Amino acid sequence: MTPPGGTITIAGKTVSRLGFGTMRLTGPGTWGDPADRDTALSVLRQAVHTHGISHIDTADAYGPHTAEHLIRDALYPYPEHVLIATKVGMVRPAPGQWTPLGNPFFLRATVEASLRRLNVERLELCYLHRIDPEVALDDQIAVLQAMQEEGKIGHVGLSKVTPENLRLVLKDQPVAAVQNVLNTNERFDPVVELCRDLDIPYVAYRPLDAGQLARTYGPRVPLDWLLNYGPHIAPIPSTSQPRHLGEIVASLQDGRA
């Protein structure tokens, strides 16, 4: 099976450049369970087993916790070639609300909880979901670094960061991937070029701008733009519908990407 979009190496594993984001598998406001749990499980299984997607992105805040449970129930035991990446460092006060929380004790507890929900001994790629401005960045990274040394995290990533954030972290800690928003409506991010220069994979979230670009142009045009921007870019579109996922993958299968 040809990996959609080609391949990229993230966290030491060669995976499909087209990944799958699980944010839309939850209820409205990224809150609670999906309206149809069986369909959500089917989307995950089709992504991996039918379409050859081997990069699944999630976060403990999706639900919260819902998406990680769905991934385990749909895909465990995980195929060896599949990378499950998750994120920690965000709390959810209510539907549609997101608050960074970088307290080191909280970060440690959330990593431990994600390990249990995903039923793994190690998170192969764990992102700091957001930098908490109320906590020293060094302290937030230090706890992830400590858990990496303990074998509970394989690789550390960063999400929604600036070039200055990335350079600061890199002084003491390798960064396996950066996840920022990038699409044809939001196309200017200086971190893209910095990641290219540093040979760090850039995982583009919201690549279809929450479906707006796909409705206007179809998925092909915005995904082509991302894949042709640079070989270090890996988009992670999200959908809750098997038909939409099939359309996204099919748009990349005419050999032009």
Is pLDDT at 116 greater than 50 in this prediction? yes
The domain of 55 spans 7-250
Q: What is the pLDDT of residue 210?
A: 86
In this structure, what CATH number is given to the domain that contains residue 74? Answer: 3.20.20.100
Mean pLDDT confidence for 120-124: 98
Provide the residue type at 171 as one letter.
K
Is 256 inside a domain boundary? no
229 catalytic, yes or no?
no
The pLDDT of residue 54 is above 80: yes
- Sequence-ordered list of residues with C-beta below 8 angstroms from that of 20, at least 6 positions apart, any chain: 44, 47, 53, 55, 56, 57, 236, 237, 238, 245
Tally of domains within the chain: 1
* pLDDT digits 0-9 by tens, 244-257: 999 999 999 864 44
pLDDT tens per residue across span 178-205: 999 999 999 999 999 999 999 999 999 9
Does residue 43 belong to any structural domain of this protein? yes
Proportion of the chain above pLDDT 90, given as a percent: 94
What is the structure's pLDDT at 149?
Answer: 98
Residue 2 inside a domain? The answer is no
Among 126, 23, 127, 124, smallest CA distance to 83 is for 124
Q: What is the pLDDT of residue 223?
A: 97
Tell me which of 62, 127, 202, 205 is the catalytic residue.
62
Judge whether residue 102 has pLDDT over 50.
Answer: yes
Question: Quick one: average pLDDT of 44-54?
Answer: 98
Mean pLDDT of 170-174: 96
User: What pLDDT, on a 0 to 100 scale, did the predictor assign at position 257?
Assistant: 44
217 or 236: which carries more pLDDT confidence?
Answer: 236
Task: Express each pLDDT in 235-244 by its tens digit.
Answer: 999 999 999 9
Percent over 70 (pLDDT), the chain: 98
Q: Model's pTM, two decimal places?
A: 0.97
Position 255 in a domain:
no
Token pair of 28, please?
A: 């409205």
Q: Is residue 257 a part of any domain in this protein?
A: no
Query: Residue 254 has what pLDDT?
Result: 60
Nearest-angstrom CA–CA distance, 75 and 25:
14
Q: What is the pLDDT of residues 139-158, one digit of tens each?
A: 999 999 999 999 999 999 99
What is the structure's pLDDT at 89? 98
In a domain, 143, yes or no: yes
